[in-house]
Amino acid sequence: MKRRVAILISGRGSNMVALIQAAAAAHFPAEIALVISNRSDAAGLEKARASDVPALAIESKLFGKDRATFEAVVQAALDEHGIDLICLAGFMRLLTAQFVQRWHGRMLNIHPSLLPSFPGIDPAAQALGAGVKISGATVHFVIPKTDAGPIVMQGAVGVCDDDTPDTLAERILRVEHRIYPEALRLVAGGQVRLEGDICKTTAGAGSAAILISPTTGCGT
């Protein structure tokens, strides 16, 4: 039986689209059953509806600093749709520790850096400032600490001498669209297990399933 997935977004939903497209394959072990945005003007809502995915706007600003009540409304929607897994895809709202713990081992996030390096905002600018030669993206299980948690999959890209934060971020985004669906496939298919703070793949998944490196050069 396919796992039922909710995607939480705040904006354009480019990773959401990648997940929806991947899940449309007959043998993909998950179905995208719901999209929730904390902003009613998020462009991703119409993209989800255009793909025949139920999409809801639950405006977080109406709840002010009352995150618990906002999350209770979100949880009610998740329960109504029988959700098994959550994918955060550009969801710009901090979640309480209680909500995160409720979904322990069942909520994924993607971050545009090779965590644990460069968590937080502007990771591409952080990478350029540090002078690293390789950057990338990370899919990880969500824990109460921001941009942390057991790593499921990473994708690497080269950092070019003439990169700007925008050009590097765009190249990283392309690898995000590859690794997020693959990470969801592993999790939904039962091919990963958590051992404390470490995520390990089953023997059949293989090392190629946890690192995607389309290029370490520049100009692609």
pLDDT of 91? 97
| pLDDT confidence band for 202 (50 / 70 / 90) | confident
Q: Kindly report the number of other CB atoms within 10 A of residue 193's CB atom.
A: 12
pLDDT of 220? 46
* Residue 39 clears pLDDT 80, i.e. is over it: yes
Of 134-138, 197-201, 202-206, the least confident: 202-206
Domains of the chain: 1-103 (3.40.50.170), 109-220 (3.40.50.170)
| pLDDT confidence band for 209 (50 / 70 / 90) | low
CA distances from 86 to 5, 44, 133 (A): 6, 16, 32
Q: Which residues contact 180 (CB under 8 A, 6 or more apart)?
A: 15, 18, 19, 87, 89, 108, 110, 139
DSSP strand pairing (151-158 vs 211-212): parallel
pTM of full prediction above 0.75: yes
pLDDT of 218? 66
Q: Quick one: which of 187, 127, 200 has its CA closest to 157? A: 127
Q: CA angle, 103 as apex, 97 and 107 as ends, to 5°? A: 105
Which residues are marked as active site?
A: 111
**What digits encode the pLDDT tens for the residues 46-89?**
999 999 999 999 999 999 999 999 999 999 999 999 999 999 99
